[in-house]
Structure 1
Amino acid sequence: MEAIEKDVHSFILNEFLPGEDPAELTASTPLITGGILDSITTLKLVVFLEEHFGITVEAHEAGVEHLDSIRQIAELVAEKKAA
């Protein structure tokens, strides 16, 4: 799961927070409720997850319950990869 978190962390930093201090983005930083991700950037994140990890994120999973932190995202990806 650590490798998933690292990949997602890098993607979010590069795509949505260029120039930000990487240490400021932790596994528990709120992404949607904290205003880092909006509907368009959440969609971009879902496309990345699907392409990079070879999974399918269902519409009901593309919300704050599953994508509000890097840890939640990694758990979702790990679950899907294990299934």
Structure 2
Amino acid sequence: MPTNKYTEAEIEKIIKEHIVQNFMYNRTDISFSNEMLLIEAGIIDSISIFKLASFLEEKFGFTLNSKELLLDNFESVNAIKHLVVQKVVN
């Protein structure tokens, strides 16, 4: 399901690159995948979610409301991608 400006593949790539560059640093011990539970793996925490949300809003041009800032929406790359696609398409 393509978005107005980005394809799902492009959204996924942007999210993954942002997470690797901003939250993983030199964590070469982790095999990063779209299904990986980011909070459980210690890659992101509650502060990181707000930073990531801010990045997504700026990059993709939407606003998240407080009900969308749930851990479930940020638990994996796939969950984040789903959130972005829903916001950009709807």
Aligned to 1:56: 63
Q: Residues of 1 paired with 2:51 and 2:16: CA distance? A: 14
Q: Residues of 1 paired with 2:13 and 2:65: CA distance? A: 23
Aligned to 1:24: 31
Unaligned runs of 5+ in 2: 1-7
- Percentage identity across paired residues of the two chains: 33
Q: CA RMSD in A?
A: 1.4
TM-score by length of 1: 0.88
How many pairs align?
A: 82
Q: Residues of 1 paired with 2:39 and 2:72: CA distance? A: 10
Contact 1:32 1:68 in 2 (8 A): yes
* Pair 1:5-2:25 in alignment: no
What displacement does 1:64 show? 1.8
Residue deviations 1:16-69, cap 9 Å, x none?
A: 111234x82111110123322111111100000000011111112112221100
Q: Residues of 2 paired with 1:42 and 1:15: CA distance? A: 12
What displacement does 1:14 show? 0.4
Higher-Rg structure is 2
1:79 partner letter: Q
Task: Tell me the SS of whatever aligns to 2:27.
Answer: coil
Task: Tell me the SS of whatever aligns to 1:8.
Answer: helix
If each structure's helix is expressed as a fraction of its own residues, which one has the higher value? 1
Q: 2:54 aligns with which of 47, 52, 60?
A: 47
